[in-house]
């Protein structure tokens, strides 16, 4: 207990006048189930729950496997109910709703994930839990109804031609100003490639662009297709460096407007054109020497993966090259993951599905004559990229609130 108080940074004086949480009978039952689960599950690191008042619950595993110690402050007993009924999405909702917070505001949430990951990967935890089902497996029977409703919503968002545009609009049409608050000057919405930890994000993004250009081996005679072009900076960089002709497609009106303006400002309208269309709507009578798609295939969906590669083959010239950058999920988790919902599918990318490397290769082999020439894992760079995005967002938080207020007032006047 003394060690817990030391870590928490709370004095006995502060704890001597507790304001106890008063959970309902249902919340109390949920608390019992969740704490029993944590006692079984946490096999690496140390998780301390500090409830409103003086109640401290400590769940400690093997500190050699994970040295992380975190304090999660529980402000509302609804936290336990949300975990019990909605599993990982319940944890997300509790965090968003302010039911919980962390002593370490900067690293607390990340460290919680590290403890959960270390626990599920530890041998002692695997003996107790079904590794394929995620960290909430012991509570899955109580979360079945909530999980089913999320899954049905995800199932209804399959990326048909019509639904794909709706799914994209829910994220990318939020406004270019919002994305500008956390992206770098290039407005690149994919992982950068860093040489050192404190490197400027823009420098690292330009290095990533250079890597893609080199892998595609583009020259001035080539016609290049970019599937999922973002806000246009990559197109400008490619054309400036190679002199090629460039066609970019997107489903976002917001992206299209800004990309066209940037190309006009750069004076490259004769080399770069943008199309507002789905990859399935491109005529296969026209061939491209190179195709590049950077972190777009995550929006395709499991059911349409073969169709995606079939389209790419039909659009690619003989002896052409296709460079694909994507966020992947481990092969052993893919089947379970694609049948369920999660935070990203529910709140970030509706209709999305992170492919595994095996899924990419099998879909490519089943639907096309394309073959893999080279694979490189740059996933480690996403950690630093996300840190930079978070810092930018936090630094611009005041500006974000101001713009939100102005937008809301404008909406009300209209």
Query: What is the torsional sign of CA 82, 86, 91, 92?
Result: negative
In a domain, 150, yes or no: no
C-alpha distance from residue 229 to each of 1, 5, 172, 255, 273 (Å): 54, 51, 12, 8, 11
**Nearest of 134, 132, 136 to residue 332 by alpha carbon:** 132
CATH number at residue 346: 3.40.50.150
Q: Which residues contact 243 (CB under 8 A, 6 or more apart)?
A: 219, 220, 271
Cβ neighbours around 62 below 10 Å, total: 18
CATH number at residue 24: 3.30.1050
In a domain, 275, yes or no: yes
Are residues 199 and 301 both part of a single domain?
yes
Residue 373: predicted pLDDT:
95
Are residues 6 and 136 both part of a single domain?
yes
Distance CA 39, CA 372 (A): 45
User: In the listed set 142, 174, 195, which residue is the last one of a domain according to the structure?
Assistant: 142
Distance CA 186, CA 198 (A): 18
Residue 1: predicted pLDDT:
43
Are residues 48 and 183 both part of a single domain?
no
Range of the domain at 79: 2-142
The pLDDT tens digits of the residues spanning 334-377 come to 998 888 878 888 888 999 999 999 999 999 999 999 999 999 99
Are residues 230 and 370 both part of a single domain?
yes
Mean pLDDT of all residues belonging to the chain: 86
pTM value? 0.83
Are residues 126 and 67 both part of a single domain?
yes
Where does the pLDDT of residue 20 fall: very low under 50, low under 70, confident under 90, or very high at 90 and above?
low
The pLDDT tens digits of the residues spanning 201-245 come to 999 999 999 999 999 999 999 999 999 999 999 999 999 999 999
Are residues 218 and 286 both part of a single domain?
yes
Are residues 39 and 122 both part of a single domain?
yes
Are residues 171 and 260 both part of a single domain?
yes
Distance CA 87, CA 140 (A): 7
Are residues 358 and 221 both part of a single domain?
yes
Distance CA 284, CA 236 (A): 25
The pLDDT tens digits of the residues spanning 114-132 come to 999 888 877 544 444 454 4
Are residues 86 and 203 both part of a single domain?
no
């Amino acid at each position: 207990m003394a060690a817990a108080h030391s870590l928490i940074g709370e004095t006995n004086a502060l704890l001597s006048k507790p304001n106890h949480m008063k959970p309902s009978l249902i919340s109390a039952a949920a608390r019992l189930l969740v704490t029993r689960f944590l006692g079984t599950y946490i096999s690496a690191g140390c998780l301390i729950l500090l409830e409103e008042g003086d109640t401290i619950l400590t769940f400690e595993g093997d500190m050699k496997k994970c040295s992380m110690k975190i304090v999660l402050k529980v402000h509302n007993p609804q936290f336990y109910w949300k975990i019990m009924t909605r599993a990982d999405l319940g944890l997300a909702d509790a965090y968003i709703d302010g039911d919980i917070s962390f002593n370490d505001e900067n690293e607390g949430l990340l460290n919680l994930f590290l403890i959960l990951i270390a626990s599920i990967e530890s041998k002692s935890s695997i003996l107790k839990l079904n590794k394929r089902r995620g960290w909430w497996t012991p509570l899955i029977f109580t979360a079945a109804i909530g999980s089913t409703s999320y899954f049905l919503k995800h199932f209804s968002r399959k990326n048909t031609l019509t639904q794909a545009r709706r799914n994209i609009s829910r994220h990318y049409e939020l406004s270019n100003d919002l994305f500008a608050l956390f992206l770098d000057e290039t407005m690149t919405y994919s992982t950068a490639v860093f040489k050192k930890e404190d490197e400027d994000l823009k420098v690292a993004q330009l290095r990533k662009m250079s890597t893609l250009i080199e892998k595609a081996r583009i020259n001035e005679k080539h016609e290049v297709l970019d599937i999922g072009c973002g806000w246009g900076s990559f197109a400008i960089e490619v054309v400036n460096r190679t002199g090629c002709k460039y066609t970019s497609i997107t489903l976002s009106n917001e992206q299209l407007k800004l990309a066209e303006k940037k190309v006009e400002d750069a004076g490259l309208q004769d080399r770069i054109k943008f199309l507002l269309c789905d990859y399935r709507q491109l005529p296969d009578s026209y061939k491209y020497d190179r195709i590049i798609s950077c972190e777009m295939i995550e929006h395709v969906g499991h059911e349409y993966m073969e169709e995606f590669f079939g389209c790419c083959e039909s659009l690619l010239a003989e002896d052409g090259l296709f460079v694909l950058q994507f966020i992947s999920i481990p092969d052993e988790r893919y089947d379970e993951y694609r049948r369920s919902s999660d935070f990203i599918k529910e709140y970030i990318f509706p209709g999305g599905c992170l492919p595994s490397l095996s899924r990419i290769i099998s879909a490519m082999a089943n639907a096309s004559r394309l073959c893999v020439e080279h694979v490189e894992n740059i996933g480690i760079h996403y950690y630093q990229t996300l840190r930079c995005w978070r810092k930018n967002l936090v630094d611009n938080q005041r500006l974000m609130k101001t713009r939100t207020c102005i937008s809301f007032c404008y909406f009300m006047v209209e």
